[in-house]
Amino acid sequence: MLPARLRSLLFAPAVRPDLVAKMPATGADLIAIDLEDATPVIAKADAHASLPDLMASVSGQIAVSVRVNDPTTEWFDDDVAALPDGLAAIVVPKVETVEGLDRVAAALAHHGRADVPVVAGIETALGVADARLTLAHPAVGAAYFGAEDFIADMGGVRTASNHEVHMARSQVALAARLADVPALDQVVADFRDGDRSRREGEEARAMGFGGKLCIHPSQVIIANDVFTPSPEDLDRAHRLLEAYERASAEGLAAIDFEGEMVDEPVARQARRLLSLAD
């Protein structure tokens, strides 16, 4: 089962047991042991054999997932066969079609893991275009947007402005909202730039994402902070709702609250913020 909050999903390569062992101490809401991009082709088979030990080094300490190779690859079936017990989720990269997710669901069922939710990676042109169809699949419990793979597939150029991914990012947040699953925003590859992680996290939160993919412990701290409403935000939301409800009872639907117009949609944003804190 996925954790109730998904502010941070931290990755480490399956070929790095040293990093995996350090993951519980990071405070990530969910961790992913990566069999895909961070595991080189020559190590794919050995990675399966190492999964039980990797799992033993973290289990009971944090919510754990495994990122498998995508269902169109030669490794996918063996990845699913090798999944350890006790996983909170399976992360499936490059999700593009409902048929692909049907294959994932069938493989999970075949190995007695039908109840393990899928975190669907939306990170290709087709994946983004059809996210509304795929994220509605019953196997999907959450989604992420992968900027690097998306731009590679587009033949574009990745920039710090994020302009080139804005529409795709938004579309994933939109599809996740319609499917009623939480959405995780892209990785900041430049992991030593904490300002960028914070800026992107705030951007993502404003767009409706609930968290961020992380590759480094320092990014987990930032993501957990950005996606947790601050005491000031909560206090303001309480005061705003109090004023709004008082005015509503007196027959007003739009009021001046500390210099800003507040009406029902603004009040709804405040209620949503408070619900995140529960």
> Which one of the spans 21-29, 198-206, 231-239, 253-261 is the region binding ligand COA (CB under 6 A)?
21-29
Given 11, 144, 150, 257, the residue binding ligand COA (CB under 6 A): 11
Given 22, 111, 113, 196, the residue binding ligand COA (CB under 6 A): 22
Contact status: 37 vs ligand COA (CB under 6 A): yes
CB of 149 to Mg ion, least distance (A): 4
**Measured between alpha carbons, how far is 14 from 218 in angstroms, rounded to an integer?**
20
> Which partner, Mg ion, ligand COA, none, binds residue 215 by CB below 5 to 8 Å per kind?
ligand COA
> Which one of the spans 32-40, 57-65, 163-171, 207-215 is the region binding Mg ion (CB under 5 A)?
32-40
CB of 213 to ligand COA, least distance (A): 6
83, exposed or middle or buried, with CB in 10 Å at 0-12, 13-18, 19+? buried
SS (HEC) of the chain? CCCCCCCEEEEEECCCHHHHHHHHHHCCCEEEEECCCCCCHHHHHHHHHHHHHHHHHHCCCCCEEEECCCCCCCCHHHHHHCCCCCCCEEEECCCCCHHHHHHHHHHHHHCCCCCCCEEEEECCHHHHHCHHHHCCCCCEEEEEECHHHHHHHHCCCCCCCCHHHHHHHHHHHHHHHHHCCCEEECCCCCCCCHHHHHHHHHHHHHHCCCEEEECCHHHHHHHHHHCCCCHHHHHHHHHHHHHHHHHHHCCCCCEEECCEEECHHHHHHHHHHHHHHC
> Which partner, ligand COA, Mg ion, none, binds residue 149 by CB below 5 to 8 Å per kind?
Mg ion
Given 149, 175, 188, 212, the residue binding Mg ion (CB under 5 A): 149
Contact status: 217 vs ligand COA (CB under 6 A): yes
Contact status: 135 vs ligand COA (CB under 6 A): no
Given 5, 22, 37, 50, the residue binding Mg ion (CB under 5 A): 37
Given 9, 12, 35, 87, the residue binding ligand COA (CB under 6 A): 12
> Which one of the spans 3-11, 35-43, 104-112, 166-174 is the region binding Mg ion (CB under 5 A)?
35-43
Residues 177-196 that bind ligand COA (CB under 6 A): 187, 191
Given 9, 23, 47, 223, the residue binding ligand COA (CB under 6 A): 23
Compare residues 201 and 241 and give the one whose CB is closer to ligand COA: 201
Contact status: 71 vs ligand COA (CB under 6 A): no
Hey, what amino acid is at 195?
A: D
**Measured between alpha carbons, how far is 11 from 26 in angstroms, rounded to an integer?**
11
In terms of DSSP bridges, do strands 255-257 and 260-262 run parallel, antiparallel, or are they unpaired? antiparallel
Q: Which positions touch Mg ion (CB under 5 A)? A: 37, 149
Q: Which positions touch ligand COA (CB under 6 A)? A: 10-13, 16, 19, 22-23, 26, 34, 37-38, 187, 191, 215-217
